[in-house]
């Protein structure tokens, strides 16, 4: 995998406005936090998303965000678990780079799809245990119906998204550069 010449370089070195970059990262991170994401994870994700290379080391993230390596590590652990970033080793080094992919939203939603499937199984058991004729059983059955509907729609939505992205960004969109 070849890194872009900008990999590992700060905003000043690539001609980017460091203050504008910082404002974007903090603004988008704040919106992600309002939507329920952990604060540090939101900041790390926004920084990776805005970086030219789409990948940074812990040290680079710490420097840009003015946080400790431990804070970056915890954020990356969470982001990896929800499939929003991946870890990769730098060739010939022990250092890891954290990468956001162009398909990160697809990956994140796909992992949520597995959660919906698991919830569906548990909800089905709840309906069977309580009985659909009981008020609790009916609420659980309605919740199950909603998740089953959502699961079907997500699959179709993701297919339409891939088609739409290819029209806008070309047939190789989402492929590693």
22 and 95 in a single domain? The answer is yes
Cβ-contact 45, 37 below 8 angstroms? yes
**Does residue 164 lie in a domain region?**
yes
Is 121 within a domain?
yes
Summarize pLDDT for 38-92 with one digit per residue, the tens.
999 999 999 999 999 999 999 999 999 999 989 999 999 999 988 889 998 877 8
pLDDT band at 146 (very low <50, low <70, confident <90, very high): very high
Query: In angstroms, rounded to a whole number, what is the distance separating the alpha carbons of residues 34 and 92?
Result: 40
Question: Domains in the chain: how many in total?
Answer: 2
Crossing angle for the helix pair 58-65 and 69-81, nearest 10 degrees? 110
Residue 1 lies in a domain: no
- Tell whether 134 is covered by a domain: yes
Q: Are residues 94 and 114 in the same domain?
A: no
| Per-residue pLDDT reduced to its tens digit, 110-144 | 666 677 888 899 999 999 999 999 999 999 999 99
Pairing of the two strands 86-89 and 96-99: antiparallel
Residue 131 included in any domain: yes
Tell me what the mean pLDDT of segment 92-111 comes to: 78
CATH number for position 46 = 1.10.10.10
CA distance 58 to 95: 8
* Tokens (6 digits) for 93: 């080094």
**Do residue 123 and residue 83 come from a single domain?**
no
Indicate whether 177 belongs to any domain: no
Range of the domain at 76: 18-99
């Amino acid at each position: 995998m070849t890194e872009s010449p900008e990999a590992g370089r700060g905003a000043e070195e690539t001609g980017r406005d460091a203050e504008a970059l910082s404002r974007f990262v903090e603004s988008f991170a704040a919106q992600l936090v309002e939507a329920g994401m952990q604060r540090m994870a939101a900041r790390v994700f926004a920084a990776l998303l805005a970086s030219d290379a789409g990948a940074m080391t812990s040290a680079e993230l710490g420097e840009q965000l003015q946080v400790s390596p431990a804070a970056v590590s915890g954020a990356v652990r969470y982001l990896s678990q929800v499939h929003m970033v991946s870890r990769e080793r730098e060739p010939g080094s022990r250092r890891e780079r954290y990468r956001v992919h162009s398909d990160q939203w697809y990956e994140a939603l796909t992992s949520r799809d597995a959660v919906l499937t698991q919830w569906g199984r548990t909800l089905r058991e709840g309906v069977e245990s309580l009985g659909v004729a009981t008020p609790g059983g009916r609420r659980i059955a309605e919740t199950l119906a909603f998740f089953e509907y959502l699961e079907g729609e997500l699959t179709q939505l993701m297919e339409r998204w891939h088609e739409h992205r290819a029209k806008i960004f070309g047939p190789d969109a989402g492929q590693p550069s």
